[in-house]
Amino acid sequence: MVQPSFKPGDRVAVRKAWPLGHIRTPHYIRGQVGSIERLCGSFPVPEELAQQRSGLPAQPLYRVRFLQREVWPDYRGGADDALEVEIFQHWLEPA
Amino acid sequence: MIERGHHDMGGLPAGKVERSEHDYVEWERRVDALMVLLSGIRGQKRMTVDELRKNVEAIGPDAYEQMSYYERWVTSITQTMIQRGVITTEELGRKMQEVQNRERDGAA
Amino acid sequence: MNEDNGRYQPLSYFQLMEVSLRELLVEKGILTDEQVRATVDDMRSRGAERGASVVARGWTDPGFKARLLADGTKACQEIGLDVPALRLIAVENTPAIHNMIVCTLCSCYPRMLLGLPPEWYKSRPYRSRAVREPRTVLAEFGLAIPDNVQVRVHDSTADMRYIVLPMQPAGTEGWSEERLAALVTRDCMIGVAVPKVAGAAGAA
């Protein structure tokens, strides 16, 4: 069992990496900094499931909250507008 | 270019949202049903939704844009079945010929 | 015969592929025509009613609403909904927050609650722009969100699926669940619309 490294409120950065393969961490969020909204549970890794492998051990999956004005330099909306994305633990680092 | 999948479009510029409602036609519903059945929601798992997505993502950019949603799905499911060895390319080719001939004969 | 038209039309390449794949899978005993028919009929029967019933129950039962927000899947099961494989997160609209759902990478959607998604949800414009300029996209849907309300966009990137719990419209206090559910459209639960009472000021 992979232990969760993060808890709600923790500041995290999405890793700046652009490997090949099937990935569920969107391009636009890589390198961005946000905070953990909740731990969703642990799930087999989609990158591996896509290759007919088991995806085990399951990795903790988090919802991470980002401020829109920090993600998009030209964002023209509310200062508190937010974006929440599900990201697997192996894509996150402490910020 | 390759470091960003064509499907990974969040944040890219695009036109207005066309609020079209699509009446699903039967063959599309059958493709959807194939995915539900093969991904084991109610029985044995023969493929994963992750393989479905991976094989949709593997469709080239031009084809991706030209194909409809379920055209991409049926292509992806079929590729997955070939990759898993559930069917072979030869079997598929022969079956497609058979079905096509049957259709032609039926319409004659 | 292409049965989707009155006249004979040859099967398209992809229709040919669908028929061929299905026949091969049936021949190999992997599935049956009856299973395909039953699954098609099951999905056809799923509109947004299940989702609307969850919202209506949330409006009338504060304890249920709390449980729904804590664990969406358990809450659906609690009211007897058949939602196989669904891992649900319900997000609540408040006077301070408006929620909107998208799947930028493909088109993940709570099908077991809302049925098959609309074409626009799966389209490039929605998937690209909802995360980047949600207020403009919402305006294209006829929904203007005031500046003092936070817009929160949820990108459904992994195993969870999302439903928006809209605010209960004013003037509907004491309504039955059934009457309330009729106000909750699919678009309200995606977050591109809000429930409206016919005849109320500002209603379409």
- pLDDT digit string (tens) for C156-203? 999 999 999 999 999 999 999 999 999 999 999 999 999 999 866 554
What is the average pLDDT value for chain C, to the nearest integer? 93
Predicted pLDDT at C82 = 87
pLDDT band at C62 (very low <50, low <70, confident <90, very high): very high
Indicate the CATH number for domain A11-94: 2.30.30.50
Are C31 and C85 contained in the same domain?
Answer: no
Distance CA C116, CA C118 (A): 7
Residue C204 pLDDT:
45
**pLDDT for C5:** 52
Kindly report, residue by residue over C88-123, the tens digit of the pLDDT: 999 999 999 999 999 999 999 999 999 999 999 999
In a domain, C204, yes or no: no
Residue C80 and residue C55 in one domain: yes
First to last CA, chain B: 48
Interface test with A, best of C71, C73, C101, C132 (most A CBs within 10 A): C132
Mean of the pLDDT values across residues C81-86?
Answer: 89
Q: Residue A57, preceding bond cis, omega within 30 degrees?
A: yes
User: Looking at the structure, do residues C27 and C72 belong to the same domain, yes or no?
Assistant: no
Q: What is the mean pLDDT of residues C30-41?
A: 96
pLDDT tens across the length of chain A (95 residues): 799 999 999 999 999 999 999 999 999 999 999 999 999 999 999 999 999 999 999 999 999 999 999 999 999 999 999 999 999 999 999 99
How many Cα atoms are found within 13 Å in the side-chain-facing hemisphere of C153? Answer: 30
Does C26 fall in a domain?
yes
Which of B48, B49, B57, B80 is the mutation pick for testing A, counting most A CBs within 10 A?
Answer: B48
DSSP one-letter string for B10-70: TT----PPP-------HHHHHHHHHHHHHTTTTS---S-HHHHHHHHHTS-HHHHHHS-HH
Pick the residue from chain C with its C-alpha nearest to B56. Answer: C106
C199 lies within 8 A of chain B by CB: no
Q: Is the pLDDT of residue B68 over 60?
A: yes
Residue B42 is predicted with a pLDDT of 72
CATH of the domain at C131: 3.90.330.10
Let me know if residue C183 belongs to a domain: yes
C200 interfaces chain B, CB cutoff of 8 Å: no
Residues A50, A22: Cα–Cα separation, whole Å: 7
Reference C32, options C42, C40, C22; nearest CA is C22
Tokens 């319900």 appear where? Answer: C90
Length, in residues, of chain A: 95
Instruction: Give the model's confidence band at C2: pLDDT under 50 very low, under 70 low, under 90 confident, else very high.
Output: low
Is the pLDDT at C3 greater than 90? The verdict is no
How far is the C-alpha of A73 from the C-alpha of B108, rounded, in Å? 62
Statement to judge: residues C56 and C23 lie in one domain: no
Residue C4 has pLDDT above 90, yes or no: no
Do the Cβ atoms of B34 and C18 come within 8 Å? yes
Does domain B26-107 sit in CATH 1.20.140.10? no
pLDDT for the residue numbered C203: 47
The DSSP code for A81 is -
Instruction: Give the span between the Cα atoms of B86 and C27, in whole angstroms.
Output: 12
Indicate whether C179 and C104 sit together in one domain.
Answer: yes
Question: What's the mean pLDDT in C131-152?
Answer: 97
Q: How far apart are CA C131 and CA A32, in angstroms?
A: 14
Q: What is the C-alpha to C-alpha distance for residues C179 and C33, in angstroms, rounded to an integer?
A: 39
Flag if A28 and B54 touch (Cβ within 8 Å). Answer: no
Any idea which residues of C carry the catalytic annotation?
Answer: 103, 106-108
Residues 6 or more apart whose Cβ sits within 8 Å of residue A13: A31, A32, A33, A92, A93, A94, A95
Classify residue A56 by its DSSP letter: P
Distance from the C162 Cα atom to the nearest Cα atom in chain A, whole angstroms = 11
Q: Of C158, C156, C101, whose CA–CA distance to C134 is shortest?
A: C101
Mean pLDDT of all residues in B17-35:
94
**Mean pLDDT, to the nearest integer, of C42-71?**
96
Backbone dihedral region for residue A52 (phi beyond 0: left; psi -120 to 50: alpha; all else: beta)? left
Interface touch B37/C31, C-beta < 8 Å: yes
| 3-state SS track over C125-166 | HHHHHCCCCHHHHHHHCCCCCCCCCEEEEEECCCCCEEEEEC
Task: Kindly list the residues of chain C whose beta carbon comes within 8 Å of any beta carbon in chain A.
Answer: 87, 89, 104-105, 131-135, 147-160
Interface contact B11-A72, CB threshold 8 A:
yes
pLDDT of residue C21: 98
Which residue of chain C is at minimal alpha-carbon distance from B26?
C4
pLDDT at C1 over 50: no
Assigned domain for C166 exists: yes
Q: Is the pTM of this model over 0.90?
A: yes
Domain ranges within chain B, ordered by starting residue:
26-107
Same domain? For C37 and C93 the reply is no
Q: To the nearest whole number, what is the mean pLDDT of chain B? A: 94
Q: C61 or C6: whose pLDDT is higher?
A: C61
Chain C 154-193, residues with CB within 8 Å of chain B CB atoms: 155
**Residue C69 pLDDT grade (very low, low, confident, very high; cuts 50, 70, 90):** very high
Position A93 scores a pLDDT of 98
Which one of B13, B31, B86 has the shortest CB-CB distance to C128?
Answer: B13
Same domain, C33 and C79: no
Q: What range does the domain containing C40 cover? A: 13-45
- Residue of chain A whose Cα is closest to the Cα of B45: A52
Contact across the interface for B3 and A26, Cβ inside 8 Å: no
Clarify whether residues C137 and C36 are in a common domain.
no
Residue C196 within any structural domain of the chain: no
Please report whether residue C8 resides in a domain: no
